[in-house]
Structure 1
């Protein structure tokens, strides 16, 4: 928004006053002529559809006293008229004010919450992740469900529905957020989903984002996980979050088929890990991450460099959102120790290697997308088995021709170039023998060095190892999933509410996968579908 526009204010949203539900709220008369000893009458009534006028249904709340009054409302989504009158000793009205008051939940940046509010949210989230659904239904009602069902829906096979790779990314995740927020409010009606603005961490911590307060034990737990326990998050508030073991496909129904790994866990198809807990690491094949979260400059560029909702959404999905899953997931159990590789080959910068590995392990190896016709992979493995389980490469990446190597790597290079950091590491020259290449020290890397690195990446990609939960189709198993997506709903509000973007073309562009059309319906809960055109209404702050 422009500097002279109200940012994040009630005026921006077209609201006069917000009273948050289930919270004791103090209302106060303000002004230079307010008498602290004066007598005031306070009344709340339902607002009519005409705005500030009131419906004739009597007082919903009334109070007489001084220039302050305390009220607690329990009907989120309701609009009221608040009338305040200053009354003289003989009962005459001296002054009167009237304002429209909306009872709404407010989503704040998680670090802006009071300690008490943040603790209440994290407590509710911890309950949601640890209380079985049957016990939750008995305690909170028949509509309760824990994280497992919504993680299964989000992780459904691409052939059924897809919640990414199209404009439906925004609307479907807004619907998921709303449903999860309602589950949390069954546990504690005072909470709402906060927003994690990870661009703050990018600005303050840069490459050391994993030192963010977000990863304290009493918040979301270590970004590295427990190295001694295959990067499972074993301590802190979420140290007992279980991976979803579903070997009999009990979470499959007529609409959705969640993706399972060969051991029977909800995951990505070629994520070869037999681990019962949430996994998370900020390293790739032994090499520590050297990339940052998306930056504010790139975020603002999504607004300034586009003129259509389609272009803006694509920028948000792939440049602002996409990276963070790979950064929080990481990769391990690879066939190459990349920390040793980095030490033995100082000609490749740490940053380039970490960037390439993040793209490779997040977008390719977990679903065996790099060399699917040149490896043989186990489709079923037993929990606890001692025999190796995984993929066996049928070719030697260091013996095949350069043309074959480049053929494997071209889709990788195309995907890497669209990443928000891609311009730092990937280049394209149609006149070169192999158009895509790597950048290092602001120059295109020699073909010899580029080809050696490509061969190394093909070797790793041909035998997928393991990735952390955020790099899989079952990423909602990680509680941090639920605080990063509301950022995009806030961003959409800016796009819709700021006159700066009135010239945007707002047409919906249907995608190719099922569920991406404007009138398509997507499963959101165990029983409910949400039509995309209805989900668009979630973004309208009425």
Structure 2
């Protein structure tokens, strides 16, 4: 019943995770790392590990084979961290010096985002995280480094190459049709956009590389501009969905009926 909740679902469970499952990332150690169990949170974390592993690669700590032929054992065709280059340093030191520690968010035992995890005197991430013991903090850093050192493989559907796959063109209009459905339903729909994100491009006032789609101003649109322009009741929107019916959802017991505003 609100945009913030819907946007999280659109970005993850109904979108990014499907790309990853089909051909975005595989051969990782997450199930092994969690003793064979895989929770929904793991997929979110897996989505973050790939770019974090690239940071290690840029710091010349993660090494990947130049090529592998069809006879190579998959286990021998993986990116791994160089023990020699890490030189026995502690996980915290490696993650801090490479810039990974400042690139992730931290949560308490109940899953709540920590408001502050910087040491004001040093300007660095706390050696011992708030609400965690020293040993627990070290376990977190050790686990993070272990996962970053075994990112598995990245497929075309992980990044900007995903439009090359046919499923891209099935997922995106499906999500937008649901979005239109929510915005036109007579129920109360809170469209507040909380500018909480630390990554540029995700907040309402962040600019996107699009212009002159609905005008000739030659100015880039912000997310909030596009949010308004793509409203299903915008008369200048050059398309409309022919129906808002989901018979497959109704077969599963979901009530998808609604009366729309005109």
Q: 1:425 to 1:390 in 2, by over 3 A?
A: same
Separation (CA, whole Å) in 2 of partners of 1:494 and 1:462: 41
Aligned with 1:362: secondary structure? helix
> When you count helix as a share of all residues, which structure comes out higher?
2
2:67 alignment partner in structure 1 = 381
Determine if contact 1:402/1:451 at 8 Å carries over to the other structure: yes
Matches within 5 A, 1:86-125: none
Deviates more, 1:358-367 or 1:450-459: 358-367
Correspondent of 1:321 among 10, 15, 33: 10
Correspondent of 1:457 among 129, 144, 168: 144
Determine if contact 1:391/1:462 at 8 Å carries over to the other structure: yes
2:27 alignment partner in structure 1 = 333
Correspondent of 1:408 among 97, 100, 103: 100
Q: 1:540 to 1:404 in 2, by over 3 A?
A: same
Give the Å deviation of 1:428. 1.2
| TM-score normalised by length of structure 2 | 0.51
Q: 1:537 to 1:481 in 2, by over 3 A?
A: closer
Aligned with 1:539: secondary structure? coil
Give the Å deviation of 1:327. 3.6
Residues 306-344 of structure 1: CA distance to partner in whole angstroms, max 9, x if unpaired? xxxxxx4x6544x2123224543254323xx44444349
2:170 alignment partner in structure 1 = 482
Q: 1:491 to 1:333 in 2, by over 3 A?
A: closer
Count of paired positions: 199
Residues 16-62 of structure 1: CA distance to partner in whole angstroms, max 9, x if unpaired? xxxxxxxxxxxxxxxxxxxxxxxxxxxxxxxxxxxxxxxxxxxxxxx
Separation (CA, whole Å) in 1 of partners of 2:46 and 2:139: 18
Residues 332-375 of structure 1: CA distance to partner in whole angstroms, max 9, x if unpaired? 323xx44444349xxxxx567x62x4234313416744423143
Q: 1:379 to 1:340 in 2, by over 3 A?
A: closer
Q: 1:496 to 1:473 in 2, by over 3 A?
A: same
1:430 aligns to 2:116 (yes or no): yes
1:540 alignment partner in structure 2 = 233
Determine if contact 1:364/1:370 at 8 Å carries over to the other structure: no
Correspondent of 1:495 among 158, 174, 183: 183
Aligned with 2:104: secondary structure? helix
1:361 aligns to 2:56 (yes or no): no
Determine if contact 1:397/1:458 at 8 Å carries over to the other structure: no
| TM-score normalised by length of structure 1 | 0.28
Q: 1:503 to 1:368 in 2, by over 3 A?
A: closer
Q: Which gives a bigger RCO, structure 1 or 2 (Cα 8 Å, sep 6+)? A: 2
Task: Give the RMSD, CA atoms, in angstroms.
Answer: 5.0
Separation (CA, whole Å) in 1 of partners of 2:127 and 2:169: 33
Separation (CA, whole Å) in 2 of partners of 1:380 and 1:520: 42
Q: 1:512 to 1:378 in 2, by over 3 A?
A: farther
1:240 alignment partner in structure 2 = none
Residues 100-130 of structure 1: CA distance to partner in whole angstroms, max 9, x if unpaired? xxxxxxxxxxxxxxxxxxxxxxxxxxxxxxx
Question: What runs of 5+ residues in structure 2 fail to find an aligned partner?
Answer: 120-124, 194-202, 214-220, 236-262
Aligned with 1:405: secondary structure? helix
Determine if contact 1:392/1:462 at 8 Å carries over to the other structure: yes
Residues 133-181 of structure 1: CA distance to partner in whole angstroms, max 9, x if unpaired? xxxxxxxxxxxxxxxxxxxxxxxxxxxxxxxxxxxxxxxxxxxxxxxxx
Determine if contact 2:79/2:150 at 8 Å carries over to the other structure: yes
Separation (CA, whole Å) in 2 of partners of 1:399 and 1:351: 30
Aligned with 2:72: secondary structure? coil
1:399 alignment partner in structure 2 = 89
Q: 1:376 to 1:484 in 2, by over 3 A?
A: same
Correspondent of 2:209 among 514, 517, 524: 514
Residues 224-270 of structure 1: CA distance to partner in whole angstroms, max 9, x if unpaired? xxxxxxxxxxxxxxxxxxxxxxxxxxxxxxxxxxxxxxxxxxxxxxx
Q: 1:316 to 1:503 in 2, by over 3 A?
A: closer
Question: What runs of 5+ residues in structure 1 fail to find an aligned partner?
Answer: 1-299, 304-311, 345-349, 522-530
